[in-house]
Amino acid sequence: VEGFIFVVLHLIIIKYKIINNEFGKVRNELSEELKEEIKKLKEELANLKEQLRDMAEARQRRSRGLHIDVGGSVQDYVEDVMEGVAEGIHGELERSIFIGPGGVRILKGEPEREEHETEVSFPRVAEVMSALGQEHRLRILSELMTGGKYINDLQEKLPEITTSTLSSHLKVLEEAGLVVQEKVRGRYLITMPGRAAYRMARRIARFLERGSQE
C-alpha cells in the first residue's frame, strides 16, 4: 500500500510540475503579447501626439494667414496650398451661405453693405413700393403666403375683387417680381422678395400703429 501511495504521490508531483511548466509557458506568452500591445499603444500615442502637434501648427498658420515654406518638402508645400484653398472656400461659403429666412444665416464681414444697398435704383424701389401700395394687392400677397394658388382659388378667397381686377393686380405684382406664375400649371406663387416685401410692409404698419398709440 505504501508503495502504491508513493507511486501515486510521485505521479501527482510529476503532473503538478508539468502543469506548472505549462502555466509558465502561457504566462510568458501572455507577457510577450502584453508587451507587444503596450508597444503598439505607445506608438499610436506617439502618432496621435504628432497629429495633434500638426493640427495645432496648422491652426496657428490659419490664424496668421497662409504660410508657405518653400524650403520645405513638396508635400508640405502642397499641404499648405491645399490648406489655403480650403480656407478660401470656407471663407467664401461663410460669407455667402444662408438657409432660408427663419433658418440659419451666416453673415460675416460686410462693411460695404450699406453702399451696396444704395446701388438699388430708386425707380426699382418705387416700383416695388407701388406694387405693395394697394390694399387688394396686399390681400393677394397675404393669400399667397400660405402657398401657390390658381386664379380661381384666389377669386374664391377674395370675392370682393372682380376677375379682371384680380388679373391686373397679379400682373403688377408679377412685373415687380413679387409674384411668379407657373406656365404649365398656372398657379401663382409668391417669390422670396415678395415674401420679404410683404413682411416688411406689415412690420412698418405695425411699427407706425404702435407709434401712434404711444
Partner 1 sequence: MTWRDYQLGSIVSRTAEAMTLWKTERGILQIGEGTLAVPIMSRDQREGFIFHGHGKLILDTIVETESGAVGKPTERELNEPFLMIGDAEKTREKLSGVGPKDLEKMGYKDQKEFIERARAFFDRFLRAEDCKCLGLGKYHGIVFAFVHDGNGLDVLAVKGTRFVYIASEIVFVSNGDKVVLTSPGEVVCSDHGKLLVVKKACRY
User: What does the binding site for partner 1 look like in residue numbers (CB under 8 A)?
Assistant: 93, 95-103, 105, 107, 110, 113, 116-117, 148, 180-185, 189-196
How far apart CA 37 and CA 15 sit, in angstroms, is: 33
DSSP letter for each residue of 25-89: HHHHHHHHHHHHHHHHHHHHHHHHHHHHHHHHHHHHHHHT-----TTS-HHHHHHHHHHHHHHHH
Angle, CA 105 vertex, CA 104 and CA 106 arms, to 5°: 125
Nearer to partner 1, 33 or 110 (CB): 110
Nearer Cβ to partner 1, position 14 or 145?
145
Residue 93 CB, shortest distance to partner 1, in Å, is: 7
CB of 97 to partner 1, least distance (A): 6
* Cβ distance to partner 1 smaller for residue 29 or 110: 110
* Distance (Å, whole) CA 175 – CA 192: 14
Rounded least distance, CB 102 to partner 1, Å: 7
**CB-wise, 103 or 211, nearer to partner 1?**
103
Q: CB of 206: closest distance to partner 1 in angstroms?
A: 20
CA angle 108-109-115, nearest 5°?
120
